[in-house]
Chains A and B, each alone.
Chain A
Amino acid sequence: MSLRAEYRPFHEPWHAQIFALTVHLNEQGHFDWKDWSKVFSGALSSKGSKELIINDDDYYLIWLKTLEEFLGETVKIQSDEIIQYFQDWRAAFLNTPHGQPVKLENLSAD
């Protein structure tokens, strides 16, 4: 009998990625964990009643949104910069033939 097999820390790769990114930035000294924790708790308590956390997607969506705003203040990454890269990645996926590695250089379909 063993109860160890159940441990499943991340349900989606992006949950793991945003978690690791936050931990890494903290360890690089870009912010204190206590400050992040305070901002994240604030976001959790002030969210609307329609944003209840029932699964990990709900939880990490709030984490992601909060982190974006937090990084605007701490490392001065602006939202228009993120939007641009978001669109670039989207275009790269749409323009990369299936089975090939998706890179940001694959922005156009020529």
Chain B
Amino acid sequence: MPHDVEKHSHSLLPSDPELKVKALETALVKRGLIDPAALDEIIDTYQNKIGPKNGATIIAKALLDKNFKKALIDDPMQILEKHGFLGRQGEHIKVVENTPEIHNIVVCTLCSCYPWPLLGIPPTWYKSDEYRSRVVREPRKCLSEFGVTLPKNTKVRVWDSTAEIRYLVLPILPDKYKDFDEEHLSEIISRDAMIGTALIGDPS
């Protein structure tokens, strides 16, 4: 050890899972199975290029344009392709519309299937055991914990995502936002409103 380096001045030791991931990556790189630059590219994409703003753009347009809304519900893949919102885990997306009669909520009871190209990576609570198990059993109670209270006669429908099909909720546009233009409207459509655990305009 060089004389100018003190005994305990080594680099900070990462946690075991961090070291395990590095080990796994090293094994895969040594075999030529992965390209580290491609990993950086994937991370950059989900951190900076894909996220709930994609979904909000489409939903805002649908809320202001009846023909666009109909097309989005009838053939979402065609619309999403046109807007460049296809991609990993977005091969089959179904748009479910909230109405005064029906409120939709999305879950993946088995793991964490989610429409990545439209909403990015799911939040922690979406992946939690509590949400995945409770939202099917007691959706109304879960909604109230998210701060959403629905009229008594509104039914709640829970959609269980799979590796084959993922859902996007088309929320109701409250009257007070009906004069918003597409850009401003897209800014108040939260990720949770598109999962069904919030309404438009609610902070989530």
Chain A residue numbers with a CB within 8 Å of B42 are 19-20, 23-24
Question: 5 additional contacts, CB 8 Å, given A4-B52, A89-B19, A93-B13?
Answer: A23-B88, A59-B124, A75-B33, A81-B27, A90-B19
20 example contacts (A-B, Cβ-Cβ < 8 A) are as follows A3-B189, A3-B191, A7-B191, A10-B46, A10-B47, A12-B18, A16-B43, A20-B40, A24-B39, A30-B33, A34-B164, A37-B110, A54-B128, A59-B124, A85-B24, A89-B14, A89-B23, A93-B19, A97-B2, A98-B9
Q: Would you give the 0/1 interface string for A17-45, flagging 1 where the beta carbon is closer than 8 Å to chain B?
A: 11111011101101001100110110011
Q: Is the CB of B39 within 8 A of A82?
A: no
A23-B42, A93-B14 known; A3 vs B203 contact (CB < 8 Å): yes
Q: How large is the interface on A (under 10, 10 to 19, 20 to 34, 35 or more residues)?
A: 35 or more
Chain A 57-93, CB-CB to B under 8 Å as 1, else 0, gives 1011100100110010001010001111110111001
Within the complex, the shortest CB–CB distance from B141 to chain A, in Å, comes to 19
B26 with A53: CB separation less than 8 A:
no
The 6 tightest CB contacts between A and B, nearest first, are: A85-B23, A9-B121, A41-B110, A20-B42, A3-B190, A86-B23
Chain B interface size, under 10 / 10 to 19 / 20 to 34 / 35 or more: 35 or more
Does A105 reach chain B (CB closer than 8 Å)?
no
**CA of A68 to CA of B204, assembled, Å:** 35
Which of A21, A71, A75, A81 is the most central at the interface, judged by chain B CB atoms within 10 Å of its CB? A21
A12 to B11 Cα, complex, angstroms: 18
Q: Mark B163-201, 1 if CB is under 8 A from A, else 0.
A: 110000000000000000000000111110000000000
On whether A37 and B113 interact (CB within 8 A), knowing A9-B51, A60-B17, the answer reads yes
Identify B11's interface contact among A20, A40, A93, CB under 8 A. A93
> A83: nearest residue on chain B (CB-CB)?
B23
Residue B53 CB within 8 A of the other chain: yes
Closest Cβ neighbor of B113 among chain A residues: A37
* Contacting pair B10 A53 (CB below 8 A): no
Q: Does A14 lie within 8 Å of B21, measured CB to CB?
A: yes
Query: Cβ of B35: which chain A residues have Cβ within 8 Å of it?
Result: 24
Q: How far is the CB of B103 from chain A (nearest CB, A)?
A: 19
Question: Which residues of chain B have C-beta atoms less than 8 A from A71's C-beta?
Answer: 24, 28
A93 touches B39 (CB 8 A): no
Whether the pair A41, B43 counts as a contact (CB closer than 8 A) is: no
